[in-house]
Amino acid sequence: MASIKDVLENIENLDINDQTYIFGVLSKRLIDLKRSEIAKRAIEADQAFSAGKVKSGTLDDLWDDLND
């Protein structure tokens, strides 16, 4: 497996159009990955709420819970 340094050096040797293409592909992949992580966290939050593991209240209520 190539190191990050090797990959970056190889990319540096490409012309600007290829570097731009790689940048676009990586940007889209990162966006998709972040969306997947957000969706996963939303599902976990919904499951926690459905299981009654979520509290609701004011900021003062939260502060009181944290200090108990």
> Taking residues 39-62, what's their average pLDDT?
93
Domains: count for the chain? 1
- DSSP structure string for 5-60: HHHHHHHHTS-HHHHHHHHHHHHHHHHHHHHHHHHHHHHHHHHHHHTT------HH
> Taking residues 43-64, what's their average pLDDT?
92
Residue 44's closest CA among 57, 59, 34, 54? Answer: 54
Residue pLDDT, tens place only, 15-43: 999 999 999 999 999 999 999 999 999 99
Domain that holds residue 18: 4-66
What is the structure's pLDDT at 14? 98
pTM here? Answer: 0.67
**Is residue 1 helix, strand or coil?**
coil
Distances (CA, A) of 46 to 33, 41, 42, 50: 20, 9, 6, 6
